[in-house]
């Protein structure tokens, strides 16, 4: 009996102390802490859901539970779940959220019904009345959040695109505030909607305002591509998200495909006398910087390191004017070859623990319903194979497991 009791307390105690989900999160200088005051480091994968169908990928091949189990198997603690503003436009302006059957038919044409049938075969909780997000009790986004909660994984929502399609190029109409498909009022309404809607998910912790802002190829927007415009557009959107849900962290992303956030870390002049001052925010303990990196062909780790640091990671340093957490919410490489042994992959694997900073790899899945016009598009950068049934490359996954462990160990 005595033996039994001590065995029980030895195993039960840690899980009681760190009961999931311990939300809301907040920031303390450059750290992110949970509601119990323990450090939290984002370690996870992107799960794309902002393509034409606007349903998270992979469900025609696997159940939600099986995909989440794969993420869990890597000991990852969050998913960066991407969505398109068009989904909210449909709800607000086009008679409510559409059923997933219609969404597949619309995006995939004559092939849509076959894919839909495979989705409900793998995920029998869904059916004819299931919608993407809203209005029935069996929506896909809710079901994914519920399964992630069950497996103790957090949700970070990312507004990936305005119009649902593959991201990102300079001519895709989604580049910059006011671009052809990037209407600022719709964007802000969509963010508010998702911030509010996701309140019911126990594991919802943060929201990224916009993926990879970039310079339009042509005169797509009347708003100048510069930091002062960024400031004028991003701050009101962040205010609106904070008002809709004061609990969640807000991830700010930068220029040039979210590779540049330097003046946010340093507080330098953004033009027109505007300066980013974290202390001026009412919700200064909720703001995080996100950066992306795809310097895949770089052969010198020192260049990646100095570039990332100067472009924003310096916010995690001791002398930054605006001391903030920074998360590398996208990086990735071909999983089908030996890229995991090359400078880019090994460098980021070293830097994240070195800086005690979090990350999300692009991406978990092995194929898209449709990407750039091609259906059942093969994603060679995906951690999983085409059918999402097993790892694409066990050696690359072994290396990734090492990155997960080293990152989590770096922060106590
Ligand atoms: C978070 O981790 C850092 C680095 O290990 C440490 O200095 C800091 O005190 C930790 N914060 C908390 C709240 O544990």
Q: What is the pLDDT of residues 125-143, one digit of tens each?
A: 999 999 998 756 679 999 9
Average pLDDT of the segment spanning 296-308:
98
Degrees, nearest 5: CA angle 356-49-67: 70
Q: Would the pLDDT of 213 be above 90?
A: yes
Average pLDDT of the segment spanning 197-214:
97
Residue 201, pLDDT score: 96
**Share above pLDDT 90 across residues of the chain, in percent, rounded to a whole number:** 91
Query: Using one digit for the tens of pLDDT, what is the confidence trace for 224-251?
Result: 999 999 999 999 999 999 999 999 999 9
CA distance 204 to 58: 21
On whether the CB atoms of residues 387 and 122 are closer than 8 A, the answer is: no
CA distance 164 to 84: 5
The closest residue, in CA terms, to atom 1 on ligand 1 is 39
Distance from the alpha carbon of residue 75 to the mean position of ligand 1, in angstroms = 21
Q: Would the pLDDT of 11 be above 60?
A: no
Distance from the alpha carbon of residue 15 to the mean position of ligand 1, in angstroms = 20
Question: How is residue 6 written in tokens?
Answer: 């001590």
Average pLDDT of the segment spanning 47-51:
98
Q: Is the CB of 411 under 6 A from ligand 1?
A: yes
Query: Using one digit for the tens of pLDDT, what is the confidence trace for 114-125?
Result: 999 999 999 999
Task: Report residue 96's pLDDT band, with 50, 70 and 90 as the boundaries.
Answer: confident
Which of 14-23, 112-121, 264-273 is predicted with the least confidence, judged by mean pLDDT? Answer: 14-23
Residue 222, pLDDT score: 84
Residue 169, pLDDT score: 94
Task: Report residue 219's pLDDT band, with 50, 70 and 90 as the boundaries.
Answer: confident
Q: Is the CB of 336 under 6 A from ligand 1?
A: no
Q: Is the CB of 318 under 6 A from ligand 1?
A: no
Distance from the alpha carbon of residue 327 to the mean position of ligand 1, in angstroms = 16
Cα 389 from chain centroid? 22
> 269 has which bridge partners?
275
Pocket test for ligand 1, best of 33, 39, 41, 358 (most atoms within 8 A of CB): 39
Average pLDDT of the segment spanning 73-95:
96
Residue 192, pLDDT score: 98
For 41, list phi and psi in degrees, rounded to 5.
-115, 120
Question: How is residue 44 written in tokens?
Answer: 């996870």
- The distance in angstroms from the start CA to the end CA of the chain is 34
Residue 18, pLDDT score: 63
Q: Is the CB of 95 under 6 A from ligand 1?
A: no
Count Cβ atoms below 10 Å from residue 404 Cβ, excluding itself: 19
Q: Considering the domain delimited by 5-12+21-409, tell me its CATH architecture.
A: Alpha-Beta Barrel (3.20)
């Amino acid at each position: 009996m005595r033996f039994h009791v001590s065995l029980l307390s030895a195993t039960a105690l840690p899980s009681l102390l760190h009961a999931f989900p311990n939300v809301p999160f907040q920031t303390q200088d450059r750290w992110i802490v949970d509601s119990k005051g323990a450090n939290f480091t984002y370690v996870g994968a992107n799960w794309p859901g902002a393509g034409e169908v606007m349903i998270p990928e992979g469900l025609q091949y696997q159940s939600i539970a099986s995909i989440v189990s794969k993420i869990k198997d890597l000991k990852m603690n969050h998913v960066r779940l991407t969505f398109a503003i068009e989904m909210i436009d449909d709800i607000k302006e086009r008679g409510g959220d559409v059923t997933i059957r219609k969404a597949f038919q619309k995006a995939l044409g004559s092939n849509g019904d076959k894919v839909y049938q495979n989705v409900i075969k793998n995920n029998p909780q869904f059916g004819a009345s299931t919608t993407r997000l809203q209005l029935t009790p069996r929506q896909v986004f809710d079901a994914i959040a519920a399964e992630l909660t069950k497996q103790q994984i957090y949700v970070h929502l990312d507004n990936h695109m305005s119009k649902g399609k593959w991201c990102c190029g300079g001519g895709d109409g989604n580049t910059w505030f006011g671009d052809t498909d990037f209407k600022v009022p719709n964007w802000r309404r969509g963010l508010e909607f998702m911030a509010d809607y996701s309140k019911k998910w126990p594991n919802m912790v943060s929201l990224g305002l916009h993926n990879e802002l970039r310079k339009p190829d042509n005169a797509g927007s009347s708003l100048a591509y510069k930091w002062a415009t960024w400031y004028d557009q991003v701050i009101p959107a962040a205010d609106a998200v904070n008002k809709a849900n004061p609990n969640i962290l807000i991830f700010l992303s930068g220029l040039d495909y979210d590779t540049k956030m330097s003046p946010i870390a340093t507080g330098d002049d953004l033009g027109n006398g505007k300066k980013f001052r974290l202390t001026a925010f009412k919700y200064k303990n909720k703001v995080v910087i996100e950066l992306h990196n795809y310097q895949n062909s770089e052969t010198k780790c020192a260049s990646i390191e100095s570039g990332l640091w100067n472009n924003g990671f310096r916010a995690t340093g001791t002398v930054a004017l605006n001391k903030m957490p920074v998360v590398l919410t996208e990086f990735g490489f071909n999983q089908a070859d030996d890229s995991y042994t090359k400078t880019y992959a090994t460098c980021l694997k070293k830097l994240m623990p070195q800086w005690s900073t979090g990350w999300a790899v692009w991406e978990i899945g092995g194929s898209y319903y449709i990407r750039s016009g091609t259906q059942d598009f093969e994603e060679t950068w995906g951690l999983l194979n085409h059918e999402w049934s097993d790892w694409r490359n066990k050696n690359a996954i072994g290396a990734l497991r090492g990155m997960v462990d080293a990152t989590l160990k770096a922060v106590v």
